[in-house]
Amino acid sequence: MVDQEPQAANGSAQQVGASRGPLIGKRSRYVPGADWLSYMEQMDFFFVANGVSNAQQKKAILLMNVATETFQMIKDLLAPTPPSDGSVTYEQIIQMVKDHVKPEQSPLVSRYEFDNRMRKSTESVSDLSKPSGT
């Protein structure tokens, strides 16, 4: 669920900065439903490959590369402060979206799910004690 990188009018990839040469690698557009942590890991590699270390540039590149609905979600999470406000940092945006799309599960919910889990006939006792999904 990731769109392809934005293209300039001439069909080549857009440049990160006016003084930079061609980009190394592709930027994908994050869309809701995709894995946010994997997307951010790819963005970090993109930043390293293209020498982007300035947090304001990273924030701008990130906000340019999310789908409109994700940008609106970010705006809603930041409200009443707009994303363009200088007090909003790249790291804050990353953490806020991470907490929103993949919140930590409550220990009470985890215990409830474990306590109410039924052992299947094909599971050993040691399999039953492993977290589900592994």
pLDDT at 85 over 60: yes
Are 56 and 35 in contact, with CB atoms under 8 Å apart? no
Q: Which of 2-11, 15-24, 87-96 has the highest mean pLDDT?
A: 87-96
pLDDT at 88 over 80: yes
Are 14 and 51 in contact, with CB atoms under 8 Å apart? no
CA distance 35 to 47: 19
pLDDT at 1 over 50: no
Cα-based angle 10, 25, 75 (whole degrees, multiple of 5): 85
Please report, for residues 36, 80, 95, 133, the alpha-carbon distance to residue 29 in angstroms, rounded to integers and kept in the order given.
11, 25, 18, 28
pLDDT per position as a tens digit, 29-76? 887 888 889 999 999 999 999 999 999 999 999 999 898 999 999 999
What's the pTM? 0.62
DSSP type of residue 7: B
